[in-house]
């Protein structure tokens, strides 16, 4: 029995469950309405064929949306007791958490999919530079992954989904806005908080520049959050 | 088969299990008995690797649950209390999901699903969503889940709680059938269940084992006072009491209530000696009519209460 088979079992189940309940469709609809409205309400005013505004909005929208997507992943299982079944099946914890994480990231990717039509639409209107658009989507996936991991951590600390959502949202909003909230700090310290914050790194990638420092930031955030989730679950044993 | 040694579990300051030692042989049905909060579920959760012990070890066929939890989990089929299975799935999908996790391939899987649907009586509900099912059916799905991998050890936490008498009888039959080849450990606080299904009973109270043996062993070993129920005609209560209370071993003669054709008496006997012959001899000396004569041995219920009562 190889680990990857179990991982894909967990992934398939979690991913399917998103689309069994109406929550998925509601979340995707709200996401599209919000991004669509915020983006197109100013798009024609600026009269520029680019998606920068769309991507600059994305972190704060993700900070609210992704914790809602991930809140049930562990909390629901703790609450109904089904985690006892999952934890006593011959599955490694790493497969459980990786399966749940990939399901959440895939869900985020699915909800981003319809927004590709914005890019296609704009490319008809004017001369769209595809570099930042591709960078933006890569950044969106990295950011989605990091926020999903944070959301999973929040879900692993409580069996109450509402608390999981609020905790996840607070961490994600903080990561998004920290450098803007602390604008009064001296330059040297601001740099540090900028590095901690997710928005700065995301905007770098969205500009079409793939820097290893930004990649490293997102990947370490994912690892730290998932490891935190692992510790939170271990603590309950 | 399973060795539990010095198993201790603390929840904060609360001691749930206190140095438990137990060896469970293969091919036996073991009943774990105890009042609420005695530590039954905790013990089962540690055996199945869901909780980790504060100290002590659990090994099955030499594999330690702490060192190789995955190895143990492959060996054990577990039905947690009240079968908390995923409510949002269809029974068929759920069982397929479990079979995939156990690594059953396509053809194996279909055969296994067919078999389990038959054994657990799930054929009619295969395409219903789990949250629509009654508690009894959920319990059966849980049982099918536990048996999916043909485990050598089956751990069932209160498998019949909340079921109606017909379902209880069915599930007991299933357990007995499985228990012929596999090792089954079940927890319960229903005493008749233990008498009906288990080869061996372990009673735990406040995290300690207070009794261990077959139901017959337990009945025999407890301080064996028992009662004789008699119905005698043609004699007054005073006469009967005078005659019988002088027998060695009889602690009291009670009763005196009217019964069809005579009067009912109960003799309390407080020694292990068999006094039935002596009682009969005494009665034979008189011209009384002996209408009923029955020994009532102590029930498991009395033993249970004696062992687990609050100080």
pLDDT of residue A1: 43
Element spanning A54, H or E: helix A52-70
Question: What's the pLDDT score for residue A3?
Answer: 57
- Is B148 in contact with B95 (CB distance < 8 Å)? yes
**Average pLDDT of span B42-68:** 90
Nearest chain B Cα distance for residue A20, angstroms: 8
In this predicted structure, what is the pLDDT of residue B288? Answer: 86
Q: Copy the structure tokens of residue A106.
A: 């895939």
Name all contacts of A17-20 with Cβ < 8 Å and 24+ positions apart. Answer: A17/B86, A17/B88, A18/A69, A18/A103, A18/A107, A20/B88
Confidence of residue A107 (pLDDT cuts 50, 70, 90): very high
Mean pLDDT of A63-78: 94
Which chain A residue has its CA at the smallest distance from B84's CA?
A82
A82 contacts in B (CB within 8 Å)?
84-86
Residue with token string 């060695």: B248
Closest CB to B50 among A17, A82, A87: A87
CA A167 to centroid of chain Cα atoms:
14
CB contact under 8 A, A90 and B98: no
- Mean pLDDT, rounded, for A113-128: 88
Whether A89 sits inside 8 A of B88 (CB atoms) is no
Give how many domains chain A has, as a whole number. 1
Contact A88 B145 (CB under 8 A): no
Q: Which band of pLDDT confidence, cut at 50, 70 and 90, is reported for residue B297?
A: low
Q: What is the mean pLDDT of residues A201-229?
A: 92
Domain that holds residue A91: 3-235
Binary contact (B84, A80; C-beta < 8 A): yes
Judged against a pLDDT cut of 90, whether residue A171 lies above it is answered with: yes
Contact B50 A81 (CB under 8 A): no
Does the pLDDT value for residue B180 go beyond 90?
no
In the prediction, which pLDDT does B136 show?
83
Q: Which of B52, B78, B89 sits opposite A88 (nearest CB)?
A: B78
Q: Which of A200, A232, A234, A231 is nearest to A217 (CA)?
A: A200
Q: Cβ of B102 and A80 within 8 Å? A: no
Q: What is the pLDDT, as a whole number, of residue B195? A: 82
* CATH class assigned to B2-221: alpha beta
- Provide the pLDDT confidence category of residue B91 given band limits of 50, 70 and 90: very high
Q: Place B169 in a pLDDT band, splitting at 50, 70 and 90.
A: confident
Render pLDDT for A151-161 as a digit per residue (tens, 0 to 9). Answer: 999 999 999 99
Of B52, B80, B97, the CB nearest to A237: B52
Mean pLDDT score of chain B: 85
Q: What is the pLDDT of residue A50?
A: 81
Task: Name the nearest CA neighbour of B219 among B272, B298, B294.
Answer: B298
State residue A31's pLDDT score: 92
Residue of B nearest to A7 (CA): B101
φ, ψ of residue B106 to 5 degrees: the values are: -45, -55
Tokens 């939890």: give the residue: B69
The 10s digit of each residue's pLDDT in A7-31 is 999 999 999 988 888 888 899 999 9
The ipTM estimated for the assembled molecules is 0.85
Residue A101 has pLDDT above 80, yes or no: yes
Task: Please give the full DSSP string across B109-165, using - where no structure is assigned.
Answer: HHHHHHHHHHHTT-GGGTTSBGGGS-HHHHHHHHHHHHHTT--SEEEEESTTTT--H
The burial of A75, by beta-carbon neighbours within 10 Å (0-12 exposed, 13-18 middle, 19 or more buried), is given as: buried
pLDDT of residue A75: 95
Mean pLDDT of B303-311: 73
Q: Which of A11-15, A62-66, B274-278 has the lowest mean pLDDT?
A: B274-278
Better-predicted residue by pLDDT, B227 or B35: B35
CATH number at B226-305: 3.30.70.100
Q: Which residue from A9, A237, A88, A94 is spatially nearest to B151, judged by alpha carbons?
A: A88
Domain boundaries in chain B?
2-221, 226-305
CA nearest to B69 within chain A: A90
Compute the C-alpha angle B75/A15/A218, nearest 5°: 100
A106 DSSP 8-state letter: H
Query: Mean pLDDT, to the nearest integer, of B59-79?
Result: 90
CA separation for the pair B88, A76 (Å, rounded): 12
CA–CA min distance A146, chain B (Å): 27
Residues from chain A contacting residue B103 (CB–CB below 8 Å): 1, 5
Read off the pLDDT band of A41 (50, 70, 90).
confident
User: Hey, how many other C-beta atoms are within 10 angstroms of the C-beta on B168?
Assistant: 20
CA distance B188 to B172: 12
Residues of B in contact with A6 (CB under 8 A): 101
How far B70 CA lies from chain A's nearest CA (Å)? 5
């Amino acid at each position: 029995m190889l680990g990857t088979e179990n991982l894909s079992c967990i992934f398939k189940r979690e991913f399917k469950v998103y689309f069994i309940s109406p929550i998925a469709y509601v979340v995707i609809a709200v996401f599209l309405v919000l991004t669509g409205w915020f983006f197109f309400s100013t798009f024609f005013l600026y009269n520029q064929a680019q998606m920068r505004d769309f991507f600059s909005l994305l972190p704060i929208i993700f900070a609210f949306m992704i914790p809602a997507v991930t809140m049930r992943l562990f909390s629901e299982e703790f609450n109904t007791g089904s985690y006892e079944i999952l934890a006593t099946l011959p599955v490694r914890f790493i497969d459980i958490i990786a399966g749940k994480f990939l399901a959440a990231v895939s869900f985020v990717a699915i909800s981003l999919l319809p927004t590709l039509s914005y890019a296609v639409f704009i490319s008809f209107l004017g001369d769209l530079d595809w570099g930042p658009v591709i960078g933006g989507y890569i950044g969106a996936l990295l950011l989605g992954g990091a926020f999903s991991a944070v959301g999973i951590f929040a879900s692993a600390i409580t069996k109450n989904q509402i608390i999981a959502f609020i905790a996840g949202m607070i961490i994600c909003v903080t990561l998004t806005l920290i450098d803007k909230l602390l604008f009064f700090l001296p330059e040297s310290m601001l740099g540090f908080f900028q590095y901690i914050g997710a928005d700065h790194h995301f905007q770098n990638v969205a500009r079409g520049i793939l820097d290893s420092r930004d990649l490293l930031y997102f990947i370490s955030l994912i690892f730290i959050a998932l490891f935190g989730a692992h510790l939170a679950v271990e603590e309950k044993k | 088969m399973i060795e539990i040694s010095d198993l201790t579990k603390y929840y904060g300051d609360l001691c749930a299990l206190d140095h438990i030692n137990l060896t469970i042989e293969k091919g036996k049905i073991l009943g774990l008995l105890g009042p609420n909060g005695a530590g039954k579920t905790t013990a089962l959760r540690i055996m199945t690797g869901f909780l980790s012990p504060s100290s002590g070890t659990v090994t099955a066929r030499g594999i330690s649950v702490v060192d190789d939890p995955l190895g143990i989990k492959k060996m054990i089929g577990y039905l947690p209390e009240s079968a908390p299975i995923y409510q949002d799935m269809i029974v068929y999908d759920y069982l397929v999901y479990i079979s995939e996790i156990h690594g059953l391939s396509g053809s194996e899987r279909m055969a296994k699903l067919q078999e389990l649907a038959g054994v657990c009586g799930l054929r009619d509900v295969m395409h219903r969503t789990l949250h629509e099912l009654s508690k009894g059916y959920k319990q059966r799905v849980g049982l099918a889940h536990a048996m999916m991998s043909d485990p050598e050890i089956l751990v069932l936490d209160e498998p019949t709680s909340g079921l109606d008498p017909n379902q209880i009888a069915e599930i007991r039959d299933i357990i007995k059938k499985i228990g012929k080849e596999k090792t089954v450990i079940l927890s319960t606080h229903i005493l008749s269940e233990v008498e009906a299904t288990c080869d061996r009973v372990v009673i735990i109270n406040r995290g300690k084992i207070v009794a261990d043996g077959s139901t017959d062993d337990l009945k025999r070993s407890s301080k064996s006072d028992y009662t004789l129920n008699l119905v005698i005609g043609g004699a007054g209560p005073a006469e009967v009491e005078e005659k019988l209370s002088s027998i060695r071993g009889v602690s009291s003669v009670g009763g005196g209530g009217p019964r069809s054709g005579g009067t009912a008496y109960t003799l309390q006997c407080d020694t292990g000696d068999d006094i039935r012959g002596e009682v009969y001899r005494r009665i034979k000396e008189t011209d009384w009519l002996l209408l009923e004569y029955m020994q009532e041995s102590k029930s498991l219920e009395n033993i249970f209460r004696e062992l687990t009562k609050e100080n």
